[in-house]
Amino acid sequence: DQQVKQNSPSLSVQEGRISILNCDYTNSMFDYFLWYKKYPAEGPTFLISISSIKDKNEDGRFTVFLNKSAKHLSLHIVPSQPGDSAVYFCAATDRDDKIIFGKGTRLHILP
To other proteins, the closest distance from the beta carbon of 4 in angstroms equals 9
To other proteins, the closest distance from the beta carbon of 91 in angstroms equals 8
To other proteins, the closest distance from the beta carbon of 52 in angstroms equals 11
CB count in 10 Å sphere of residue 31:
15
Q: Hey, is 66 helix, strand or coil?
A: strand
Name the site residues for other proteins (rule: CB under 8 A): 6, 31-32, 34, 36, 41-46, 49, 89, 91, 93, 96-104
Nearer to other proteins, 79 or 106 (CB): 106
Kindly tell me the burial class for residue 65, based on how many C-beta atoms sit within 10 Å of its own C-beta (0-12, 13-18, 19 or more).
Answer: middle
